[in-house]
Structure 1
Amino acid sequence: MDAAIDKTPTQPQWVPMAIIGTLFFIFGFVTWLNGSLIPFLEIVCELNQMEAYLVATAFYIAYTVMALPMSMILQRTGYRKGMMLGLLIIALGALVFIPAALSREYSVFLLAMFVMGSGLTILQTASNPYIVHIGPKESAAVRISIMGLLNKGAGIVAPVMFTALMLSGMDQFSEEKLALMDAVARSQALTELSHRLVEPYVWMAGVLVLLAFAIKFSPLPELDLGDDGKDKAPVKEVFQYPHLVLGAVALFLYVGVEVIAGDTIGMYGRQLGVENFGMLTSYTMAFMVAGYVIGMALIPRFISQEKALQASALFGILFSLGIMFSSAGSTSIADATIALFGVPTVPNSLFFLALLGLANALVWPAVWPLALDGLGKHTSTGAALLIMGISGGAIMPLLYGAVAESSGDSQWAYWVLLPGYVYLAFYAFKGHQLRRWK
């Protein structure tokens, strides 16, 4: 029988944290690879903006479709076995990339993304409440911030690796050169480019399977939250908690704006003529890492989780306005900041888009403990509801793509960010305090 972690421990459990940290790195690597994969598939499958962002939709919609089923699986298997299952499902999704790449079939790529998203759903549903309840709730945001460092650190590594492995020699696949080819030569060139995906995803599947077996034989104890199924309450009972329901909406909008910041930056940079557009997601992730470091230093010693969430929402509004109204040609802000460290410069509007990583960093760590506070035996179901909020990553980038496609103005289309940050401000100042519906 697995050892169980008490739901109110006095000290963090560092061995479990190290194991869960590895999983958060996997979350980040698989998730933020999408920012590079989307413009890559736009070329390989000859997609427009709407079709390209359906890649993100197929990935994130799995969180809505599979969250409650995965919660039921967790109630039967426990958190540790659920994590193993999640890793194996992601490995299966990675293997689906092989026929997708060989056939260059867009629908198979979408299927692969959905399967990988399904595996991540059970990992997220298990790992987030685990890290919240493994120590004092007052410092939960700090523990999640540590996990976020690993998650977003992987988000820096993944685009760099993808660019090195997949995007070398991309000049031969430029729109101008492809346009000069006849249909047969064009198809052969794009098939050659697509085949580059096969080997990396074979390796990814192998590593994920090994990690699943490592979890099986690890000393990771089971989490005991009183939701082991012996006195299960109906799913609908979680809706009696306003702070949970409003938190799920907050996460829906937050993940939406986070994915827009991370996954559209590559295509937007490509439109602006930025070189190495495939690694621009790393800029957003680097700012998120900086935000997590700030959070770890300040929470809860100097500011509360609530104050961190309030600041995040306000900065999100400010940076969104910066994207819309700053220059898409001048690099003056980057020249005065990141260029000093040898980092390639980007236009001002794109720089503000990357800065959203800083605004977004502390939202997820702050919302989870606030939304799960006081749920007790409803925790796993409440966590599933919060995980369903990740579907914002399926809807909002698609909305952005539709607005950008119809208006012909990708920069102005970033107004879709503003309602999300305004709602986050509401939840930060008021919504998380509500304990009954009026």
Structure 2
Amino acid sequence: MKEKNTGTATALTNKQVGVSIGIIAVVFFVIGFISWVNSILIPFFKIACELTAFESYFVTFAFYISYLLVSVPASYLLKRTGFKRGMAIGFGIMAIGAFLFIPAAAVRTYGVFLTGLFALGVGLSVLQTAANPYITILGPMDRAAQRISILGVCNKGAGILAPLIFAAVILRKTDNELFSRIPFMQPGRREEVLDELIQRVMVPYFVVGVVLLLLGLLILRSPLPEINTEKEDPELSRANADKKNIFAFPYLVLGAVAIFLHVGTQVISIDTIIGYATSMHMPLLEARFFPSYTLFATICGYLLGVIVIPRFISQKQALKTCTLLGTLFSLLILFVKGRSTFLGHTIDASIWFVALLGLANSLIWAGIWPLAINGLGRFTKLGASLMIMGLCGNGILPLVYGHMADLYGTREAYWVLVPCYCYLVFYAFYGHGIKKWS
């Protein structure tokens, strides 16, 4: 049966909207699972491939720099294929990246792992370029943050499961002792142990690759309707008549910068928390739980957003609150000191403010997207690609953190968060309203 081109999101029935949200929720779950497993890959590769802190954060750099390189081509791909086929292609590319982990593990070569991570990021950039504008324009714009929050629960729920499942598969109860002995082993024995260690990722990533292929096929056969963003309504067409390109929308460009800084701070809060815990002499097998605490705080924020937006507060007010909270928690990480016991962990109290950044970050993405792509009309897909390019912040800012951690220490490196949140406060209060450059 030929798929009907609905023309606009308003042409969809409530049933179509509900089914579409369900399908995109699965997509966001997969995006979360693949993305947040990096939090356990970073310390694992650091040990198995004998890396510095700076080198280990190339995991996130390789994964997310693809967003900078691929997002604009992805927008043109979506113009030719539509949202649905574009998402299926994204899953296929991700499967290739997952399968690359098998030869990488066979020869224990970090560069091949990074190539696989880059391919995973390429597929995800296609998925994100399609899924984020799709869910934003799928219903009323004043409820976009609510819809994104629902999907955020799926994304971060997968993020909680990913490091725990992956750690359960690749780590053993005796690994703490093994890790402590590796630096003192004879070279030949050390190579043998490290080879065995790294080969533990082969089976999990083979399974992931197969699942990604199946999901791509399921998306192709799903009832997901197309939304034509190329056709503008007459009023919007008149408003955008003098617009030649996406750079004529200052609030979009400033929003892309905000996305760059937001996702970078989000990844720092999740992917560095294990390293921060182990730097305070906590064993890796205990520290592996901390990314889940950050993601749990994020889910709490999403659920709060689903309840209160827009009934009690607007998505704009939620964005302002979260950016201010992010600034506050960043400063508390730097200045609060003293050991505390909470949830069975005895560690410096500052680490719980790293986890609380999950709450602060929860509604920032959902607040920025509707403000940044509102009124773009025929520029929506290309505007979305500019926003997705901002996701390279996921790869760049953790590298900055890693370099600062090597130079100054893991706590002091969190200074990188402060100017980021200050800009996000600017966008939330003022930048989103700038319609002209002069």
TM-superposed deviation, 1:164: 0.8
C-alpha distance in 2 between matches for 1:403 and 1:227: 48
User: What's 1:307 paired with?
Assistant: 317
1:401 aligns with 2:402: yes
Which runs of structure 2 are paired with 1:22-421 in the superposition (5 Å)? 22-168=26-172, 169-174=174-179, 176-226=180-230, 237-275=245-283, 276-327=286-337, 329-332=338-341, 335=342, 339=343, 344=345, 346-407=347-408, 409-421=409-421
Is the 8 Å Cα contact of residues 331 and 348 (structure 1) preserved in structure 2? yes
Larger displacement relative to structure 2 (161-170 or 353-362): 161-170
Deviations, residues 137-179 of structure 1 (Å, cap 9, x unaligned): 01000000000000000000001101211122312432x3012
Supply the AA of the counterpart residue of 2:56: A
C-alpha distance in 1 between matches for 2:243 and 2:164: 42
| CA RMSD after TM alignment | 1.9
> What's the TM-score once normalised by structure 2's chain length?
0.94
Is the 8 Å Cα contact of residues 94 and 121 (structure 2) preserved in structure 1? yes
C-alpha distance in 2 between matches for 1:28 and 1:234: 39
1:20 aligns with 2:24: yes
Is the 8 Å Cα contact of residues 95 and 212 (structure 2) preserved in structure 1? yes
Is the 8 Å Cα contact of residues 330 and 354 (structure 2) preserved in structure 1? yes
Instruction: Give the percent of matched residue pairs that are identical in Structure 1 and Structure 2.
Output: 46
C-alpha distance in 1 between matches for 2:426 and 2:244: 25
Is the 8 Å Cα contact of residues 133 and 140 (structure 1) preserved in structure 2? yes
Larger displacement relative to structure 2 (277-286 or 55-64): 277-286
Aligned CA distance change for structure 1 residues 427 and 258 (closer, same or farther; 3 Å): same
Deviations, residues 228-266 of structure 1 (Å, cap 9, x unaligned): 9xx9x9997000001100000000000110010011111
Is the 8 Å Cα contact of residues 339 and 346 (structure 2) preserved in structure 1? no
Aligned CA distance change for structure 1 residues 270 and 213 (closer, same or farther; 3 Å): same
What residue ranges of structure 2 are gaps of 5+ in the alignment? none
Is the 8 Å Cα contact of residues 227 and 380 (structure 1) preserved in structure 2? no
C-alpha distance in 1 between matches for 2:116 and 2:104: 8
Supply the AA of the counterpart residue of 1:238: I
Give 3-state SS (helix, strand or coil) of 1:8's partner.
helix
Deviations, residues 337-375 of structure 1 (Å, cap 9, x unaligned): xx3xxx645531111101100000001111111100000
User: What's 1:432 paired with?
Assistant: 432
Supply the AA of the counterpart residue of 2:178: F
Is the 8 Å Cα contact of residues 39 and 271 (structure 2) preserved in structure 1? yes
TM-superposed deviation, 1:180: 2.2
The number of residues matched between the two structures is: 425
What residue ranges of structure 1 are gaps of 5+ in the alignment? none
Larger displacement relative to structure 2 (217-226 or 127-136): 217-226
Is the 8 Å Cα contact of residues 53 and 397 (structure 1) preserved in structure 2? yes
Is the 8 Å Cα contact of residues 235 and 381 (structure 1) preserved in structure 2? no
TM-superposed deviation, 1:227: 6.0
